[in-house]
A and B are shown apart, each in its own frame.
Chain A
Amino acid sequence: MRYSGFRVISEGFFGNKGWTPAWRDPDPKPEYEVVIIGGGGHGLSTAYYLAKNHGITNIAVLEKGYLGGGNVGRNTTIVRANYFLPGNQEFYSHSLKLWEGLEADLNYNVMHSQRGLINLFHSDGQRDAFARRGNAMINQGDDAELLDREGVRRHLPYLDFEQTRFPIYGGLLHRRGGSARHDAVAWGYARGADQRGVDLIQNCEVTGIDIVDGRVTGVQTTRGAIKAKKVGIIVAGRSGQVAAMAGMRLPVESHILQAFVTEGLKPVIDHVVSFGMGHFYISQSDKGGLVFGGDLDFYSSYAARGNLPMVEHVMEAGMTLMPMIGKAKVLRSWGGIMDMTPDGSPIIDKTDVGGLYIDCGWNYGGFKAVPASGWCMAHLMATGDSHEYARRFRLNRFVTGHLLDEEGTGSQHNLH
Chain B
Amino acid sequence: MRINCPLCGTRDRREFTYYGDAVYANRPAEGAPIEAWDDYLHLRDNPAGETRDLWYHELGCSAWIEVTRNTVTHEISATRLLTDRKKPAKRGKKT
The answer, among A250, A299, A309, A399, for a CB contact under 8 Å with B46, is A250
Q: Do residues A399 and B41 form an inter-chain contact, with CB atoms below 8 A?
A: no
Q: Quick check: is B42 within 8 A (CB to CB) of the other chain?
A: yes
Minimum CB distance partner of B73 in chain A: A303
Q: Do residues B45 and A240 form an inter-chain contact, with CB atoms below 8 A?
A: yes
What are the residues of chain A within 8 A of B73 when measuring CB–CB?
Answer: 303
**Distance A301 CA – B14 CA, assembled complex (angstroms):** 17
What are the residues of chain A within 8 A of B42 when measuring CB–CB?
Answer: 251, 342, 398, 411
Q: Quick check: is A249 within 8 A (CB to CB) of the other chain?
A: yes
Please indicate which of the listed interface residues B1, B46, B69, B72 has the most CB atoms of chain A within 10 Å of its own CB.
B46
Q: Do residues B53 and A309 form an inter-chain contact, with CB atoms below 8 A?
A: no
B44 to chain A, nearest CB (A): 5
Minimum CB distance partner of B1 in chain A: A307
Q: Do residues A250 and B43 form an inter-chain contact, with CB atoms below 8 A?
A: yes
What are the residues of chain A within 8 A of B43 when measuring CB–CB?
Answer: 249-251, 398
A409 to chain B, nearest CB (A): 13
What are the residues of chain A within 8 A of B29 when measuring CB–CB?
Answer: none
Given known A-B contacts A253-B20, A399-B38, A300 and B13 have beta carbons under 8 A apart: no
Minimum CB distance partner of A304 in chain B: B72
B49 to chain A, nearest CB (A): 8
Q: Do residues A412 and B20 form an inter-chain contact, with CB atoms below 8 A?
A: yes
Given known A-B contacts A398-B38, A413-B20, A240 and B71 have beta carbons under 8 A apart: no
- Classify the interface of chain B: helix, strand, loop or mixed: mixed
Interface size on B (CB < 8 Å)?
25
Q: Quick check: is B74 within 8 A (CB to CB) of the other chain?
A: yes
Residue-wise interface mask of A (375-416) relative to B, using a CB-CB cutoff of 8 A (1 in contact, 0 not): 000000000000000000000001100000000000111100
**Distance A253 CA – B51 CA, assembled complex (angstroms):** 12
Residue-wise interface mask of A (201-242) relative to B, using a CB-CB cutoff of 8 A (1 in contact, 0 not): 000000000000000000000000000000000000010110
What are the residues of chain B within 8 A of A298 when measuring CB–CB?
Answer: 18
The answer, among A252, A303, A307, A411, for a CB contact under 8 Å with B71, is A303
CB-contacts of B23-41 with A (<8 A): 34-35, 38, 41
Q: Quick check: is A158 within 8 A (CB to CB) of the other chain?
A: no
Q: Quick check: is A302 within 8 A (CB to CB) of the other chain?
A: yes
**Distance A344 CA – B46 CA, assembled complex (angstroms):** 16
Q: Do residues A307 and B13 form an inter-chain contact, with CB atoms below 8 A?
A: yes
**Distance A251 CA – B69 CA, assembled complex (angstroms):** 20
Q: Do residues A303 and B46 form an inter-chain contact, with CB atoms below 8 A?
A: no
What are the residues of chain B within 8 A of A88 when measuring CB–CB?
Answer: none
CB-contacts of A303-345 with B (<8 A): 303, 307, 309, 342
**Distance A241 CA – B72 CA, assembled complex (angstroms):** 13
Residue-wise interface mask of A (235-262) relative to B, using a CB-CB cutoff of 8 A (1 in contact, 0 not): 0001011000000011111100000000
The answer, among B14, B21, B41, for a CB contact under 8 Å with A398, is B41
CB-contacts of A249-301 with B (<8 A): 249-254, 298-301
Residue-wise interface mask of B (42-64) relative to A, using a CB-CB cutoff of 8 A (1 in contact, 0 not): 11111110010100000000000
Pick the 4 closest A-B CB pairs, nearest first.
A240-B46, A251-B42, A398-B42, A411-B41
15 more A-B residue pairs beyond the given contacts A240-B45, A307-B74, A411-B41, with a C-beta to C-beta distance below 8 A: A240-B47, A250-B46, A252-B46, A253-B21, A254-B46, A254-B48, A298-B18, A299-B18, A300-B20, A300-B53, A303-B72, A303-B74, A309-B13, A342-B42, A414-B18
Return 17 A-B CB contacts under 8 Å, by A number: A240-B44, A249-B44, A249-B45, A252-B46, A253-B21, A254-B46, A299-B18, A300-B20, A300-B71, A301-B71, A301-B74, A302-B72, A303-B72, A307-B1, A342-B41, A342-B42, A411-B42
